């Protein structure tokens, strides 16, 4: 009897150990993307760092950081051990940094918005260098709710979406911050539903899509919620793309929808095999929509009809937006396969892994938005490796490990 | 192996939970889905649970005879083992019978924990991962995202109020107390007492650590266990009796 009881305890402990193991997978990791400026590439890592890389120097495998290159760790205070001790831990960044006038704007899942000056970071000065236009919002110990989308900068205003749960309800809030000084310009009313999106600002109106199925339009100057809003059948999974008063957005019921501002029903809907997780790319009159079903659809933005005879089909789920490379698109699967796709007919070519033909191109998960600069496509894996790919030669130019001693 | 686990256990459970949520009122959808799901799981495990209850009861009834054997063969362990097994055989008792429902529930717990966390998708990574586990059904896709709030709980977060921890620990204590017979052996009695306190405390502590969707499953499971025990065991069992050696001797 005694041994049975100890057996039960042992089994319970094994079970709990397994559960605890599962629990570690729940920690947010982040999937910040890449943005380029001249010869410099700004990359968000999967551990809360922002790196500035010189593409020419990386190609030569020069020691990092070379002059002009830098890395900055975004951290926040974390309390552990029943609140007894506090330590600085890496913040989580999901949105791709936004480049504006030599500055990078980054928002964290822990509820902070930072404006980094490339020059001050290169000098490794203490953050924030106010004279260089650096700031952090909120300035005190306050935090916003988690920020998942990228900030949007229009004119002298930075717009950020965040969410907070209070009294059993989750609310979304939009913040407008002065681009130069980091002062709060306005905070929107609480909006129904989680806001995990990048806001779209067009002609003085800010558009957002919420997790529980609302499209809202706010005055970009005052933050006032406009009278028109749209309520879908289910929640929205992607950030909105707006052009000519039409909002293109993906919903949890696997549909991509076009909703005219002022309308109560969608203009058209297109159903995929899974969610259109990545924000679709609007180029001319065609919407290029990567889907988690592994296909990229090219749809006429006016009526949602397919443009290609058959959609481009990749080897796995597509979780990142495509990058434009002239008349080609760079497409990356979640498993790390990279394709070059012809925009005219949707035919694509896979780029082989240089070391292992059976592996995917990058041989690791890719969720961060890729970038294209000066003839090279850049992809960052969740294992923190940057891949530089030549889309013309269909080959890997070089790789660079973002994790350094 | 991981793929097999996903296909056979995780995905059916996850999609079942999501589909069930889609059919329930939005305000309580996921919490109620967990409760209904627990009822279904416990119902499916009823034959094993009843066997366990009967096994436990039979083992308790054998205690006096066991004690005699222990006295008789105190110096001959091998003989004691043989005689004990003989006693079990004659009484038709499987000593491991008490463990099976517990062991069978472990994969269910793990899969349920994974299903809850994946469905609630508290982080963007979880949400992205969820897409890969959903069946291509309008009912399933239409139910996402689920409402994570139920009563005072956010099912994706640990309950900070201690209420759930007390309920889980308390219900587990009641369930164990009902089945733990007083032993005439003081050492055995001490072990029983320790077990009676340790397990509820352990699970109470886990409740403070795990997202409250899982402790909700434990709580409902315990309540069903108490009901089953009451029904099969014929009343409150040892909960009403004082579990002291003196009481044990008196009962004997």
Across chain A, what does the average pLDDT equal?
90
H/E element, A53: strand A49-54
**pLDDT score, position A316:** 95
Is the CB of residue B166 less than 8 Å away from at least one CB of chain A?
A: no
> What does the CA dihedral B248, B249, B250, B252 come to, rounded to 10 degrees?
90
The CATH number of A284-405 is which of 2.40.128.630, 2.60.120.10, 3.90.199.10, 2.10.77.10? 2.40.128.630
Structure tokens at A377: 């496509």
Q: What is the pLDDT of residues B131-176, one digit of tens each?
A: 999 999 889 998 888 888 888 888 888 888 889 999 999 999 998 8
The model carries a pTM of: 0.84
Cis peptide before A138 (omega within 30 of 0): yes
CB contacts of A214 in chain B (<8 Å) are none
What ipTM was predicted for this assembly? 0.89
CB contacts of A367 in chain B (<8 Å) are 125, 128
- What's B230's DSSP letter? H
Nearest Cα residue in chain B from A93: B124
Of residues B250 and A384, more confidently modeled: A384
Of residues A120 and A5, more confidently modeled: A120
What DSSP letter does each residue of A293-308 carry, written as one string? TSEEEEEETTT--BSS
Q: What is the mean pLDDT of residues A291-313?
A: 97
Q: How far apart are CA B49 and CA B244, in angstroms?
A: 27
Please list the residues that pair with A197 across neighbouring strands. none
Is the CB of A94 less than 8 angstroms away from the CB of B134? no
Q: What is the mean pLDDT of residues A201-219?
A: 95
**Residue B247 pLDDT more than 90?**
no
Q: How far apart are CA A242 and CA A232, in angstroms?
A: 17
**Residue A21 pLDDT more than 60?**
no
Is the CB of residue B60 less than 8 Å away from at least one CB of chain A?
A: no
Question: How far is B16 from chain A, CA to nearest CA, in Å?
Answer: 17
Is the CB of residue B187 less than 8 Å away from at least one CB of chain A?
A: no
Nearest CA among B93, B122, B147 for reference residue B210: B122
Tally the C-alpha atoms within 13 A of residue A374's C-alpha that lie toward its C-beta.
Answer: 12
Nearest Cα residue in chain A from B207: A16
- What's B179's DSSP letter? H
- Note whether B89 and B37 are within 8 A (CB): no
Question: Which runs of consecutive H residues, i.e. helices, occur in chain B?
Answer: 2-5, 11-23, 29-44, 46-72, 77-91, 100-120, 124-131, 138-142, 163-179, 186-209, 213-233, 245-251
Q: How far apart are CA B177 and CA B158, in angstroms?
A: 27
Question: How far is A29 from chain B, CA to nearest CA, in Å?
Answer: 8
Q: How far apart are CA B9 and CA B108, in angstroms?
A: 8
| Start-to-end CA span in chain B (Å) | 51
**pLDDT score, position B26:** 80
Phi, psi (degrees; rounded to nearest 5) at A117: -100, 125
Q: How many C-beta atoms lie closer than 10 Å to residue B198's C-beta?
A: 13
Confidence of residue B252 (pLDDT cuts 50, 70, 90): very low
- Note whether A272 and A256 are within 8 A (CB): yes
Is the CB of A19 less than 8 angstroms away from the CB of B125? no
Q: How many C-beta atoms lie closer than 10 Å to residue A301's C-beta?
A: 22
Least trusted range by pLDDT, from A7-11, A52-56, A341-345: A7-11
**pLDDT score, position B76:** 82
Q: How far apart are CA B112 and CA B118, in angstroms?
A: 10
**Residue B47 pLDDT more than 60?**
yes
**pLDDT score, position B68:** 84
Q: How far apart are CA A103 and CA A127, in angstroms?
A: 13
**pLDDT score, position B74:** 80
Nearest CA among B8, B21, B15 for reference residue B149: B21
Q: What is the pLDDT of residues A111-156, one digit of tens each?
A: 999 999 999 999 989 999 999 999 999 998 889 999 999 999 999 9
**Residue B251 pLDDT more than 50?**
no
Choosing among B19, B52, B125, which should be mutated to test the A contact, i.e. which has the most A CBs within 10 A? Answer: B125
Question: How far is A324 from chain B, CA to nearest CA, in Å?
Answer: 24
Q: B143: buried, middle or exposed (CB in 10 Å: 19+, 13-18, 0-12)?
A: buried
CB contacts of B117 in chain A (<8 Å) are 22-23, 26
B182 to B96, B170, B215, B241: CA distances (angstroms): 20, 19, 29, 9
Beta strands A328-332 and A286-290 are unpaired
**pLDDT score, position B209:** 87
Is the CB of residue B142 less than 8 Å away from at least one CB of chain A?
A: yes
Q: What is the pLDDT of residues A66-77, one digit of tens each?
A: 998 999 999 988
Q: How far apart are CA B115 and CA B5, in angstroms?
A: 12
Q: What is the mean pLDDT of residues A96-103?
A: 94
H/E element, A171: strand A169-178
B207 to B148, B177, B202: CA distances (angstroms): 17, 20, 9
**pLDDT score, position A24:** 46
**pLDDT score, position A271:** 96
Structure tokens at B93: 């008792």
**Residue A109 pLDDT more than 50?**
yes
Q: How far apart are CA A74 and CA A88, in angstroms?
A: 9
Tally the C-alpha atoms within 13 A of residue B116's C-alpha that lie toward its C-beta.
Answer: 32
Beta strands A225-231 and A241-243 are unpaired
- Residue A213 DSSP SS3: coil
Q: What is the mean pLDDT of residues B28-35?
A: 89
Q: How far apart are CA B165 and CA B57, in angstroms?
A: 28
| Range B145-163 burial, b when 16+ CB lie within 10 A, else e | bbbbbbeebbbbebbeeee
Q: How far apart are CA A70 and CA A52, in angstroms?
A: 5
**pLDDT score, position B229:** 79
Question: How far is B98 from chain A, CA to nearest CA, in Å?
Answer: 8
**pLDDT score, position A17:** 53
Least trusted range by pLDDT, from A85-99, A347-361, B64-78: B64-78
A91 to A367, A403, B124: CA distances (angstroms): 18, 16, 15
**pLDDT score, position B227:** 87
Q: How many C-beta atoms lie closer than 10 Å to residue B15's C-beta?
A: 19
**pLDDT score, position A192:** 85
Is the CB of A19 less than 8 angstroms away from the CB of B154? no
Is the CB of B142 less than 8 angstroms away from the CB of A15? no
CB contacts of A5 in chain B (<8 Å) are 191, 195
**Number of separate domains in chain B:** 1
Is the CB of B191 less than 8 angstroms away from the CB of A2? yes
Q: A403: buried, middle or exposed (CB in 10 Å: 19+, 13-18, 0-12)?
A: exposed
Q: How far apart are CA B144 and CA A401, in angstroms?
A: 37
Query: Domain residues for B139?
Result: 2-251
- What's A236's DSSP letter? B
Of residues A315 and B147, more confidently modeled: A315
**Residue B249 pLDDT more than 70?**
no
**pLDDT score, position A396:** 94
- Residue A184 DSSP SS3: strand
Confidence of residue B185 (pLDDT cuts 50, 70, 90): low
Nearest CA among B32, B81, B28, B15 for reference residue B216: B32
Is the CB of residue B54 less than 8 Å away from at least one CB of chain A?
A: no
Q: What is the mean pLDDT of residues A295-315?
A: 96
Q: How far apart are CA A278 and CA A289, in angstroms?
A: 8
**pLDDT score, position A38:** 81
């Amino acid at each position: 009897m005694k041994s049975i009881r100890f057996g039960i305890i042992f089994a319970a402990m094994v079970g709990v150990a397994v559960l605890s193991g599962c629990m570690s997978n729940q920690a947010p990791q982040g999937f910040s993307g890449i943005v380029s400026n001249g010869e410099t590439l700004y990359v968000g890592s999967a551990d809360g760092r922002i790196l500035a890389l010189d593409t020419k120097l990386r190609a030569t495998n020069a020691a990092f950081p070379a002059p002009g290159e830098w890395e900055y760790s975004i951290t926040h205070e974390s309390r552990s051990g029943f609140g007894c001790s506090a330590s600085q831990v890496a913040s989580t960044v999901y949105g791709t940094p936004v480049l504006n006038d030599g500055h990078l704007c980054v928002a964290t899942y822990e509820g902070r918005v930072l404006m980094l000056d490339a020059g001050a970071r290169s000098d490794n000065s203490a953050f924030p260098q106010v004279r260089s236009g650096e700031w952090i919002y909120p300035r005190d110990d306050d935090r916003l709710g988690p920020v998942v989308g990228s900030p949007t900068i229009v004119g002298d205003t930075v717009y950020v979406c965040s969410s907070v749960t209070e009294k059993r309800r989750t609310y979304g809030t939009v913040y407008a911050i002065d681009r130069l000084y980091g002062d709060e310009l306005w905070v929107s009313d609480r909006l129904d539903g989680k806001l995990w999106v990048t806001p779209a600002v067009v002609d003085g109106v800010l558009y957002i899509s919420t997790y529980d199925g609302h499209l809202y339009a706010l005055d970009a100057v005052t933050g006032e919620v406009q009278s028109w809003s749209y309520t879908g059948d289910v929640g929205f999974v992607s950030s909105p793309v707006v052009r000519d008063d039409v909002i293109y957005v993906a919903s949890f019921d696997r549909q991509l929808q076009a909703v005219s501002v002022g309308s109560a029903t969608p203009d058209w809907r297109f159903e995929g095999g899974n969610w259109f997780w990545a924000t679709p790319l609007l180029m001319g009159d065609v919407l290029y929509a990567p889907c988690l079903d592994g296909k990229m659809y090219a749809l006429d933005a006016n009526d949602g009809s397919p443009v290609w005879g058959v959609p481009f089909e990749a080897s796995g789920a597509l979780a990142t937006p495509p990058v434009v490379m002239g008349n080609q698109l760079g497409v990356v699967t979640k498993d790390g396969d990279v394709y070059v796709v012809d925009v005219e007919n949707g035919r694509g070519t896979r780029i082989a892994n240089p070391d292992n033909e059976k592996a995917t191109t990058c041989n690791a998960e890719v969720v961060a938005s890729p970038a294209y600069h000066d003839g090279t496509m850049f992809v960052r894996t969740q294992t923190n490796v940057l891949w530089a790919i030549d889309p013309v030669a269909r080959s890997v130019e070089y790789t660079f490990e973002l994790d350094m001693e | 192996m991981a793929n097999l686990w996903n296909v056979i256990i995780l995905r059916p459970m996850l999609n079942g939970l999501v589909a069930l949520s889609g059919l329930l009122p939005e305000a309580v959808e996921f919490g109620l889905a967990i409760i209904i799901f627990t009822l279904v799981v416990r119902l499916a495990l009823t034959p094993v649970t009843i066997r366990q209850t009967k096994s436990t009861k039979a083992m308790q009834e054998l205690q006096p005879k066991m004690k005699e054997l222990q006295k008789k063969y105190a110096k001959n362990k091998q003989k004691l083992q043989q005689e004990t097994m003989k006693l079990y055989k004659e009484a038709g008792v499987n000593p491991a019978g008490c463990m099976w429902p517990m062991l069978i529930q472990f994969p269910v717990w793990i899969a349920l924990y994974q299903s809850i966390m994946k469905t609630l998708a508290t982080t963007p990574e979880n949400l992205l991962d969820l897409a890969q586990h959903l069946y291509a059904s309008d009912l399933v896709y239409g139910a996402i995202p689920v409402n994570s709030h139920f009563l005072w709980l956010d099912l994706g977060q640990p309950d900070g109020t201690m209420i759930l921890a007390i309920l889980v620990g308390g219900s587990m204590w009641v369930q164990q107390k009902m089945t733990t017979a007083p032993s005439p052996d003081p050492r055995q009695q001490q072990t029983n007492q320790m077990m009676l306190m340790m397990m509820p405390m352990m699970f109470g502590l886990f409740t403070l650590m795990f997202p409250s969707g899982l402790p909700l499953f434990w709580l409902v499971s315990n309540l069903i266990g108490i009901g089953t025990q009451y029904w099969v065991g014929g009343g409150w069992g040892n909960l009403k009796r004082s579990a002291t050696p003196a009481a044990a001797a008196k009962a004997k």
